[in-house]
A and B are shown apart, each in its own frame.
Chain A
């Protein structure tokens, strides 16, 4: 039997095995534990890339857990799917590739970064649990399982954010994140309850086929949009992001960025694949667009004034999430009108999806460089830092690449996705493109500030003994640097092979439904 049919299950089973074996691997000492961490994260990334290849080559993949065969979605002629079903279309496959690369970089980086702490076998267990939760949210075809994986990811993050447990700020950040996550997870659960009550089903494809817009569906949609926007840090609910991102260890922050993308994935999966054309009015798309614009602008204005390196970057992630929300909101707005979709909607979606991979890669890299600076210089305060380019040339080089990419300087990948977003949103409402441009300028301004104060300038006496970070940390950062450079050099290939299939899959609601429900009736 072809083992590749098991890829969707393996993508969850391997990191889960990694988490469960970690306490045992920790008994063998530091070397065994690190080897296990590297092995599992590399295997997970390889599985995700193979899965993506298979989906792009052969269309949507389904996997039924525990059934007599992997593809029996409707057993014994029933018209409802009854088991746990994983459904992987091109958009999910794209997201798991992005997430697993960020996890790989975070794992490499954490090997040495965390060595001041005890209890590292628990760190590695929680780390892989977080990876499992993230991948599960992106792979599952079932609303209730989405909630389960959301909880797995949240609970693992609570522990990881507070891992710096001698800092009261870390415990506070973790508690704040715990409150926000629990509230949003309960909202999701209530929404799932509405679907279960109305349709006796929680499978996304099964519910989508039967969906008629009524009060219950509208309430469920509000709950899901609000809670998942909260989890990905869009503006009115962004207060947890700066604390959580700044206080988590850098390798974890890199992964948390990818996890927030999984919430974003859930938001758009529900809007496009579950509701789709039956969304009716333009209220929800415009809500998402307005949330996006607010996130962009408020996030970046808060970032410019920050003095602490990681906090500044955390506010930037709020503003970058805004770009993605705005672009995909425009796509959602034009969903019912084929002409508008062809004119600007599809371009906006390509821009938004391209921005997801760009954002995860450069933001992960920025957080890792901030962690590297903290590891070597011992402070993240921009008023104290200075002249680090002399002693940390490689970190400086990678920081410069990431900063240029996030600011959208022309040759870099950030420019490509932002250009697509400017073009398409201009057609909807010119002010959107103006807001995006202003945000981009302010982003550039704040990263010029960081680059200037932390890395340039005369060498400071206090940082005379600072050296470049260890090789494994450089390796973690270079994983992301290589991806950024590749995206920069081959934007055409990326657009046609990675982004376009994902955007097509997101728009194609009928395809998503028939992959599960096709065999029945």
Chain B
């Protein structure tokens, strides 16, 4: 895949950031609004698809190495299982952060309220962990699918041809 036209690339430059931010919003609001780690992670991972389409695979692989996404995946998984094990004093996956104050443990007042972002304890931590894992995993899948296309091209013995030039 070669890069697409300058119009597409400019739009991508602007909107890829919005997609990333929207995905992160879905991840960290996972306990309040529909969505969560998986859905938000999938939205962020579409950034990789966006870049692959607009800039072409060679350019994207020069931006970021697959090892970066692997590391993200591993970090997410480790964060998740660590959050599970830290509750082991009570039970596995026990929400030991909720209601303790601090970054994740705000106490929710009784009665109707508009939702307090930092009140969910380990659930937020796990949403972030799943988010990291899904961003890494789905982006890797996209990159390897792109590499599969390259493999096919090499076998056919012909050079790449773009869509619009």
Contact = CB atoms under 8 A, between A and B. Distances in A.
B59 to A, nearest CB: 26
Interface stretch (A17-25, A280-288, A480-488): A17-25
B159 interface: no
Given A13-B84, A13-B85, A66-B87, A20 B78 contact: yes
Contacts of A23: 70, 73-74
A434 interface: no
Given A20-B74, A20-B81, A23-B70, A6 B88 contact: yes
Residue in A6, A10, A20 with the greatest tally of chain B CB atoms within 10 Å: A20
Contacts of A65: 91-93
Interface in B32-58: none
B90 interface: yes
A64 B95 CA distance: 13
Contacts, number: 47
Contact of B90 (A13, A16, A69, A84): A69
A457 B15 CA distance: 72
A16 B73 CA distance: 15
A355 to B, nearest CB: 33
A70 B94 CA distance: 10
A13 B92 contact: yes
Interface in B82-104: 84-85, 87-88, 90-95
Interface in A336-362: none
Nearest to B74: A23
A63 interface: yes
Given A13-B84, A13-B85, A20 B77 contact: yes
Given A17-B81, A17-B85, A20-B81, A9 B74 contact: no
Given A20-B78, A23-B74, A63 B85 contact: no
A82 interface: no
Interface string A126-145: 00000000000000000000
Contact of B78 (A24, A63, A67): A24
Nearest to B92: A9
B74 A67 contact: no
B91 A67 contact: yes
Interface size class of B (residues with CB under 8 A): 10 to 19
Contact of A16 (B70, B81, B87, B88): B81
B14 to A, nearest CB: 35
Contacts of B88: 6, 9
A68 interface: yes
Contact of A6 (B70, B74, B92, B95): B92
Contact of B74 (A16, A24, A68): A24
A67 B85 contact: no
Residue in B74, B84, B90, B92 with the greatest tally of chain A CB atoms within 10 Å: B92
A194 B88 CA distance: 34
Interface in A59-93: 63-70, 84
A66 B94 contact: yes
Contacts of A67: 90-91, 94
A407 B64 CA distance: 57
Nearest to A86: B92
A72 to B, nearest CB: 9
Interface of A: 6, 9-10, 13, 16-17, 20-21, 23-24, 63-70, 84
6 contacts: A10-B92, A13-B81, A23-B73, A65-B91, A66-B95, A84-B93
Given A63-B91, A67-B90, 8 more contacts: A16-B81, A17-B81, A23-B73, A65-B91, A66-B92, A67-B91, A69-B91, A70-B91
7 A-B pairs closest in CB distance: A9-B92, A66-B93, A20-B77, A23-B74, A65-B93, A20-B81, A70-B91
